[in-house]
Amino acid sequence: MSFTSGVGARRAVPLRMPGQSRDDEIKIMIDRRVLKDFDWSFLAAVIVLSLIGVMTIYSATRPLLETQQSSFYMKQLNWIMLSLVIFFLAISLDYMWFIRSAYLLYVVGVVLLVIVLVAGRKGMGAQRWIDLGFLSFQPSEFFKLFIVITLSRYLSQMRNGDGLGLKELSKMLGMFFILPAVLILKQPDLGTMLMVMFIFTSMVLTYGIRKKILMTVLVIGLIALPHLSTRRQTLRASAII
């Protein structure tokens, strides 16, 4: 095994597997800035808050009798540990991998939303989770991240100096918003759909939109707001019933 350092903070670590020639070496890029510039105090604060949450769950769900077993706090601990592993894996990856895989991640997210409607687990009047037996997860939560990555790539490749026009905005709505919004509403999960809409709107406004289109969107939004509020109350009532 050999180490070579280049300009900048990255260093290549060539690894040669048994039976491979030097030309077949596998190179793994390790970014030393991940450890050097990482805000460890912020991570410590997050862990402390998470542990406080675990203690709160334990206090609220501890068994009244010795024979009873409560595992809610243990489940929370398991999720915290899994989250830390995924967190460090994510920051160790080159962000360009996410850019290259943006459209694939979007397709995966939409497919998961379809699977929820076909074979998802029902609970409290909603069908939002995929149950794998050993764990269940909510695909719409992952989709929030996927749409941020996808829109980032799409908008970065556009060359509209005067902002998005009606044609570009309609194309983006058709490609990245309407289908997932309908699938999420079918669960039903109005809160997540509104969050996805907020993400979409925020990123479009950050990129830039023509004033005439902006005023039109604002008027439509103000007209639709009372209907969305009524719809959300109806969904809450049906979930309680």
Residue 103 pLDDT: 92
Residue 93 pLDDT: 76
Query: Where exactly are the structural domains of the chain?
Result: 4-36, 42-93, 108-240
- Report the alpha-carbon distance of residue 227 to residue 171 in Å, rounded: 25
13, pLDDT greater than 70: no
Query: Which residues neighbour 39 within 8 Å (Cβ) at sequence distance 6 or greater?
Result: none
Q: Which residues of 179-207 are buried (b: 16+ CB within 10 A; e: fewer)?
A: ebbebbeebbbbebbebbeebbeebbeeb
110, pLDDT greater than 90: yes
Residue 235 pLDDT: 55
- Report the alpha-carbon distance of residue 239 to residue 191 in Å, rounded: 13
Residue 32 pLDDT: 61
In sequence order, what are the beta bridge partners of 97? none
Q: Is 122 left (phi over 0), alpha (psi -120 to 50) or beta?
A: beta
Q: Which two tokens stand for residue 46?
A: 């997050």
- Name the percent of the chain lying above pLDDT 70: 72
Residue 2 pLDDT: 41
pLDDT grade for 3, boundaries at 50, 70 and 90 = very low
- Report the alpha-carbon distance of residue 184 to residue 114 in Å, rounded: 9
- The residue ranking higher by pLDDT, 33 or 176, is 176
Q: Which two tokens stand for residue 97?
A: 């991998």
pLDDT digits (tens, 9 = 90+) for 113-151: 999 888 878 776 777 888 787 777 888 888 999 999 999
- Contact of 103 with 38, CB cutoff 8 Å: no
pLDDT digits (tens, 9 = 90+) for 152-179: 999 888 876 677 777 888 888 889 999 9
52, pLDDT greater than 90: yes
pLDDT digits (tens, 9 = 90+) for 204-240: 888 888 777 777 777 777 777 666 666 555 655 555 5
pLDDT grade for 87, boundaries at 50, 70 and 90 = confident
Residue 4 pLDDT: 41
SS3 content of the chain, % helix, strand, coil (to 5): 65, 10, 20
